[in-house]
């Protein structure tokens, strides 16, 4: 039997869980009524400096599954789309590409002046389905 390594929650993750658990609206919906993925990505990149999408996805999935809340993590393709939206909004940028195609890794980092932008709370609200920012 394989045991999963329990990760210690980082301060921003504790804050996200506290916010979900103390908000009646979010708790009623199992925490999924208000997007927290963008806030988590911001906290993660602030914590580690830079990372690539699959590594972030694995950490996000582990965080959510270990939270005990009924929140869907989504799949990796959806997570990559989320990264794309954050990039389009100018919240993150690619800082490095390693390896060769098709096995390259794109590393992303925060754009410092956008760290406290309200766009982090619900990035999809600010992107048009036709490709432009709203």
Q: pTM for the full model? A: 0.84
Instruction: Give the number of other Cβ atoms within 10 Å of residue 10's Cβ.
Output: 17
Q: Which two tokens stand for residue 83?
A: 């990264």
In a domain, 63, yes or no: yes
In a domain, 133, yes or no: no
Range of the domain at 16: 11-27+34-126
Write b or e for each residue in 68-90: b if 16 or more Cβ atoms lie within 10 A of its Cβ, otherwise e.
ebebeeeeeeebeebbebbeebe
User: Model confidence over 1-56: pLDDT tens digits?
Assistant: 444 455 799 999 999 999 888 876 655 554 454 568 999 999 999 999 999 999 99
CATH number at 75 reads: 1.10.10.10
Nearest to 35 by CA among 14, 62, 10, 64: 64
What's the number of domains the chain is made of? 1
In a domain, 91, yes or no: yes
Distance between CA 5 and CA 113 in Å, rounded? 35
What pLDDT was estimated at residue 27?
52
């Amino acid at each position: 039997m394989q045991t999963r390594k329990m990760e210690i929650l980082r301060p921003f993750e504790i804050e996200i869980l506290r916010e979900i658990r103390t908000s009646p609206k979010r708790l009623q919906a199992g925490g999924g009524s208000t997007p927290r993925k963008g806030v988590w990505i911001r906290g993660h990149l602030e914590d580690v400096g830079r990372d690539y999408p699959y590594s972030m996805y694995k950490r996000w999935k582990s965080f959510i599954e270990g939270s005990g809340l009924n929140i869907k993590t989504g799949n990796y393709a959806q997570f990559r789309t989320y990264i794309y939206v954050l990039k389009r909004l100018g919240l993150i940028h690619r800082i490095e590409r390693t390896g060769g195609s098709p096995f390259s890794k794109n590393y992303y980092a925060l754009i410092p002046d956008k760290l406290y932008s309200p766009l982090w709370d619900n990035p999809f609200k600010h992107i048009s389905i036709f490709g432009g920012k709203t």
